Structure 1
Amino acid sequence: MTTQNVAPVYPRPPEYYKRYTDENLAILKQVKEHGEEAFVASGGNLPNFNIFELEPPPPVTEGHYFSFKDKWTVVDVLPSLEENEQKQLYPSGEIDRVAEFKKLNHSAIFNFLELLNSLVKEPERSLDKLEQIQTIFVNMKHMLNEYRPHRARETLRLMMRNQLENRRRATEEIQKRCSELAKKLEAVKSSWKAMDELKMDLARCSSLKDDLDFEILTQNTQFEEVTDPNTYNISQETTQKMLRMIDE
């Protein structure tokens, strides 16, 4: 039994991460502010590596880069089948992709049937049919991947449309709630206004009652002083007040 080299999913961290100590970062800050020569002249000690290596590298703007041992291009471009060392089965340029995809699908079905036939009659040809089927599937996958940018744009457009509709519904709901609240505030204001008018009426009635009581008390006092009962008389002003109270 042969042993296989199994690579870890995530690589080990590089050894230079040990250089990022508080002391080295403080030295880097002083060197950037005052210069390397001034730092050494002031008695500072530089580490045994280039201190500027602690700064993060500038972002890559062109070419390619490596991430977890995989090579990636800066500009996200779908590589062609030729660049991936695969045979292209459909023509390049402006084509009817739906029709070409159907052709590839029919070819995949036909080659699958040929594979089943070869497994029975000519097993040695089965590997060739498997390679042909794999090539067809690679072409179908590549054609689908070419639709990724279009799908991303449509998904973004749909997402923005949904956000706009949600904001419109939220705005309408807020306006509806504000209108209901304004009506309730108007009702409360009307209630307070009616209560104020009622308080004013009660105060006016109380004032008239006090005036009437005082008038009656005065008349009673005058009545006790006169000997002829026919001389008792309520003044015209008191009579008018009593009539107004009855009307109200």
Structure 2
Amino acid sequence: MDEPTEIQSTFPTPPAHYIRYTNTNLQLLNQLKTKLGPDAPIYHPASDDLPYPDVQAIRQQHNLLSDARDVPDWDLLELQPPRVDWIVEEGGYSTFGDQWAVSRYPNLP
């Protein structure tokens, strides 16, 4: 009989994109949002209507940040936190492949 596999970690491995959250990239995100102004688009996951990656957004990002160094070839807007109102509207969120429901009317302590 085979021996059971030893568990390496209590928690699942973080998604690969977590390494993108560097101080440099977060500073570039702030610069980009400043240059885009108050009407800056917000990141949303790929859909059938909007293929990923959004090549035009990445080109615009490079144009707006032409004075900056090390501008990545992926959309910096991906670093923005999720929209809580969308999570409530959808009734939940997913993390590490699991779906989690949220209450539309959370109980207050």
Q: TM-score, normalised by structure 2?
A: 0.52
Within 5 Å, give how 1:68-217 maps onto structure 2: 69-75=97-103
Letter of the structure 2 residue corresponding to residue 21 of structure 1: T
Deviation at 1:31, TM superposition (A): 0.8
Q: Is 1:48 aligned to 2:73, yes or no? A: yes
Change (3 A) 1:63 1:19: same
Q: Quick check: which one's strand share is greater? A: 2
Letter of the structure 2 residue corresponding to residue 32 of structure 1: K
Greater Rg by CA: 1
CA distance in 1, matches of 2:64, 2:22: 22
**What is aligned with 1:26?**
27
Letter of the structure 2 residue corresponding to residue 2 of structure 1: D
RCO comparison, higher one (Cα < 8 Å, 6+)? 2
**What is aligned with 1:114?**
none
CA distance in 1, matches of 2:64, 2:97: 41
Asked if the contact 2:92/2:100 (under 8 Å) is kept, the reply is: yes
Q: Quick check: which one's helix share is greater? A: 1
CA distance in 1, matches of 2:101, 2:12: 20
Return 5+ residue gaps in structure 1 as ranges. Answer: 77-151, 157-248
Asked if the contact 1:10/1:68 (under 8 Å) is kept, the reply is: no
In the alignment, which of 70, 84, 91 is matched to residue 63 of structure 1?
Answer: 91
Question: In structure 2, the residue corresponding to 1:9 is in which secondary structure?
Answer: coil
**What is aligned with 2:2?**
2
Measured on the aligned residues, the alpha-carbon RMSD in Å equals 2.9
Aligned-residue identity in percent = 33
Asked if the contact 2:91/2:102 (under 8 Å) is kept, the reply is: yes
Alignment size in residue pairs: 76
Q: TM-score, normalised by structure 1?
A: 0.26
CA distance in 2, matches of 1:64, 1:5: 33
CA distance in 1, matches of 2:35, 2:27: 12
CA distance in 2, matches of 1:67, 1:54: 16
Change (3 A) 1:6 1:67: farther
CA distance in 1, matches of 2:6, 2:94: 20
CA distance in 2, matches of 1:68, 1:26: 27
